Amino acid sequence: MADIDRIKELIDSNATLEAISLIDEMIGSEPDNDMLYFLRGNAYRKHNDWKHAMSDYCKAAEINPDSPATRAYDAAKRILDFYNKDLYNP
């Protein structure tokens, strides 16, 4: 659990690449831990890598449908689907 807390601290302090690296190592030994995929998705999202964030949220939800990644995926999808025609046609 200490590793999870450390990862959350890294993400909160914008050390996303360090968090992703640590999570990658942990996933190697715990490939079915949905929380790791959720946290890595958060790190990718904060790093502005939406493709990998969405992929990790999907993987976490696949492992555990009750994962917070399900809500994170839905929120990210709404953000990415937002379209304001006034921004493109002043």
Q: For the chain, which domains are there?
A: 2-88 (1.25.40.10)
Q: Identify the burial level of 47 via C-beta atoms within 10 angstroms of its C-beta, where 0-12 means exposed, 13-18 middle and 19 or more buried.
A: middle
pLDDT of 81 reads: 83
pLDDT of 2 reads: 63
Phi and psi angles of residue 58, each rounded to the nearest 5 degrees, phi first: -65, -45
Blockwise average pLDDT, block size 10, the chain, 90 residues: 87 96 95 96 95 96 95 90 66
pLDDT of 46 reads: 95
Smallest CA-to-CA distance from 21 within 40, 45, 34, 6 is with 40
pLDDT of 26 reads: 95
pTM of the model: 0.85
